[in-house]
Chain A
Amino acid sequence: MSSAVLSPSDSASRPRPAFLLAGLGVVPRLLIICGALLGLLFAALTYGAATGPTRIPYGDVADALLQYAGADRGVDASSATYRIVTLVRLPGLMVAALVGAALACAGAAMQGLFRNPLADPGVIGVSAGASLGVVLAVTQAASLGSAWLFGAGPLGAALWRVPVAAFIGAMLAALAVYVLSLQRGRTNLAALLLAGIALNAVLGALTSVLLLRTADFNAMRTVLTWLVGSLEGRGWDYFRVIQWPILAAAGLILLYSRDLNLLLIGEESAQALGVNVARTRLIVLALASLLTASAVSVAGSISFVGLIVPHILRLIIGPDHRVLLPASLLGGAAFLVLADAVARTVIAPELLPVGTVTALVGGPFFLLLLWRNRRRIAVF
Chain B
Amino acid sequence: MKQTRNNGYRAPDAPLLHAGPISYSRDGQAILCGITFSVAAGELVGLIGPNGAGKSTLLKVIGGLWSGAQGPITLAGRPLARYSARAIAQQVAHVPQITALDFPFTVQQIALMGRNPHLGRFQIETARDRQIVTEALRRTGTLALADRLIGTLSGGERQRVLIARALAQEPRLLLLDEPTANLDLQHQIGVLELVRDLVRQGQLGAVAAVHDLELAARFCDRLVLLHEGRVLTDGTPERVLSPGPLRTAYGVNTRSYPDPVTGYLRLAVLDGAPVPDASEVAHAAP
Give bound CA distance, A134 to B145, whole Å: 54
Which residues of chain A have C-beta atoms less than 8 A from B140's C-beta?
1
With beta carbons under 8 angstroms apart, the residue of B124, B147, B151, B157 that contacts A322 is B124
Chain A, residues 257-299, CB within 8 Å of chain B (1/0): the string is 0100110111011011111110000000000000000000000
Evaluate contact between B124 and A273: CB separation under 8 angstroms: no
With beta carbons under 8 angstroms apart, the residue of A272, A276, A376 that contacts B104 is A376
Which residues of chain A have C-beta atoms less than 8 A from B121's C-beta?
255, 258
* Cβ-based interface call for B125 (8 A): yes
Give bound CA distance, A211 to B200, whole Å: 73
Give bound CA distance, A7 to B156, whole Å: 11
Residue ID in chain B nearest A27 by CB atoms: B124
* Cβ-based interface call for B96 (8 A): yes
Which residues of chain A have C-beta atoms less than 8 A from B105's C-beta?
261, 264-265, 318-320
Chain A interface residue number, banded: 35 or more
* Cβ-based interface call for A6 (8 A): yes
Also in contact, A273 and B89, with CB within 8 A (given A4-B141, A255-B122, A261-B113): yes
Give bound CA distance, A376 to B149, whole Å: 12
Which residues of chain A have C-beta atoms less than 8 A from B149's C-beta?
15-16, 18
Give bound CA distance, A275 to B84, whole Å: 9
* Cβ-based interface call for B222 (8 A): no
Which residues of chain B have C-beta atoms less than 8 A from A1's C-beta?
139-141, 190, 193-194, 197
Which residues of chain B have C-beta atoms less than 8 A from A380's C-beta?
102-104
Evaluate contact between A22 and B147: CB separation under 8 angstroms: yes
Chain B interface residue number, banded: 35 or more
Also in contact, A273 and B117, with CB within 8 A (given A264-B103, A318-B104, A380-B103): yes
Evaluate contact between A6 and B145: CB separation under 8 angstroms: yes
Which residues of chain B have C-beta atoms less than 8 A from A272's C-beta?
63, 65, 89, 92-94, 96
Which B residues between 103 and 125 are near A, CB-CB below 8 angstroms? Answer: 103-106, 109-110, 113-114, 116-117, 119, 121-122, 124-125
**Most chain A Cβ neighbours within 10 Å, of B85, B93, B142, B144:** B85
Give bound CA distance, A6 to B141, whole Å: 9
Which residues of chain A have C-beta atoms less than 8 A from B193's C-beta?
1
Chain B, residues 139-165, CB within 8 Å of chain A (1/0): the string is 111101101110110101100100000
Evaluate contact between A262 and B116: CB separation under 8 angstroms: yes
Residue ID in chain B nearest A5 by CB atoms: B186
26 contacts between A and B (CB under 8 A): A1-B193, A5-B156, A6-B144, A6-B157, A9-B152, A16-B149, A258-B121, A261-B105, A261-B109, A265-B103, A265-B113, A266-B96, A268-B65, A269-B94, A273-B117, A274-B85, A274-B89, A275-B86, A276-B84, A276-B85, A277-B85, A320-B105, A320-B109, A379-B104, A379-B151, A380-B104
